Amino acid sequence: MSDTQLELIKKLNDKTATIGVVGLGYVGLPLCLRYAEVGYTVLGFDIDPSKIETLNSGRSYFSHYGHERVTAAREQGFSATTDFARASEADALILCVPTPLDEHRDPDLSYVTRTMDSLLPYLRPGQVVSLESTTYPGTTEEELRPRIESTGQVIGQTLFLVYSPEREDPGNPNFSTRSIPKVVGGSCPACLEVGEALYEQVIDQVVPVSSTQVAEMTKLLENIHRAVNIGLVNEMKVVADKMGIDIFEVIDAAATKPFGFVPYYPGPGLGGHCIPIDPFYLTWKAKEVGVNTRFIELAGEVNRAMPEYVVGKVAAALNDHSKAVRGSAILVLGVAYKPNINDMRESPSAEILQRLADLGANVDYADPFVPQFPSMRDYDIHLASVELTPASVAAYDCVVLATDHEAFDYDMILEHAPVIVDTRGRFRGGSEKVIKA
């Protein structure tokens, strides 16, 4: 073990290391808060000045992380900046930047590579760089390592490189950054030892693996597992509906089996940054080695078809009431991609709203976590959340439950809505005004 490695591990273990987190979104911010919570000096980096201003004033921009946690982190020495030159102050640099798909549904690593290029002038001996962004196997070795080595650093001797996939689940009350086990792979054995030291002070269980490629594939398997099973149950939903069977009742009954079955529930489509996107990182990489991932791609086709299926259900429901979609007033309940948070990433609600508007409907939405519909690249939606009252609900021709926030008064909605298209199985009483989608 080199002196550089020993010194870095000592600083990580005794919490005298400065932790730099690059990208202060749904992954980076909770990581900052956790490191600050246990006593590290934490420096957050982001290119968005509004985020920096908000955090440095002791406030949070996420509904599921209260202002008090940011204030407490600030009191522990946490600060945020847009100045990447300050990366030289950090002993650890953890990259938590987006990895979206481009217009051809191919991996877009530009956020990762641009971020790494921005940091290169400020790297110094005795640092560890950890990539947490979800990506295809080989990214750390093929994209980050050559860039770092171009500065003269020697991986495993002067600077240490690891990959540790994020596993955040925003809004989940049962799991936190601390309690979710952390998979870590290093570019070499020395890198892995440093990576374990980086995370074991803040995460209850660190799971070391033999390489960065294994860690990268682990994250993809987790998300592909969910995407494929959700695709299966979404297809089963369509079949069950044609047969007049309630798929939610079927799933609940199947879930009583104590072995061999894991319940997944259908919905209006896939949302969030991970499940709709990550499988295609593997399908793209698999083609490089001559493998056609038909199973994964089929699940993606099924899941991507769900918003259109919901719109078809809306049209059928209105038709049963002698109304057309064009000119009808339609309210979509919930535009966040999952309950009880304000995360809009890849939300199927956006596509449902846009499709209905394109068909000539007068659309509105209600979401207590998203007061103003954000600007989104693929959608032309300029709306603010409406207040739910008996009178306002009754004024719509159709109400579509897209995201089942706990804050909604479902009894009131059921009583006053003329017709409800339920994509989440929330209305289970058998009312004639409820259409399952």
**Active site members:** 274
Give the CA angle between residues 314, 317, 320 to the nearest 5°.
150
**Residue 364 · residue 331 · CB < 8 Å:** yes
Would you put residue 138 in left (φ > 0), alpha (ψ -120 to 50) or beta? left
**Residue 124 · residue 93 · CB < 8 Å:** no
Rounded Cα–Cα distance for residues 25 and 95 (Å): 11
Instruction: Report the 10 Å Cβ neighbour count for 246.
Output: 15
Residue 435 dihedral angles phi and psi, to the nearest 5°: -110, 125
Rounded Cα–Cα distance for residues 396 and 206 (Å): 51
Nearest alpha carbon to residue 180 among 159, 158, 205, 209: 205
**Residue 196 · residue 146 · CB < 8 Å:** no
Nearest alpha carbon to residue 111 among 99, 94, 121, 103: 99
All residues at 6 or more sequence positions from 401 whose CB lies less than 8 Å from its CB, including other chains:
333, 334, 413, 420, 421, 422, 423, 424, 426, 427
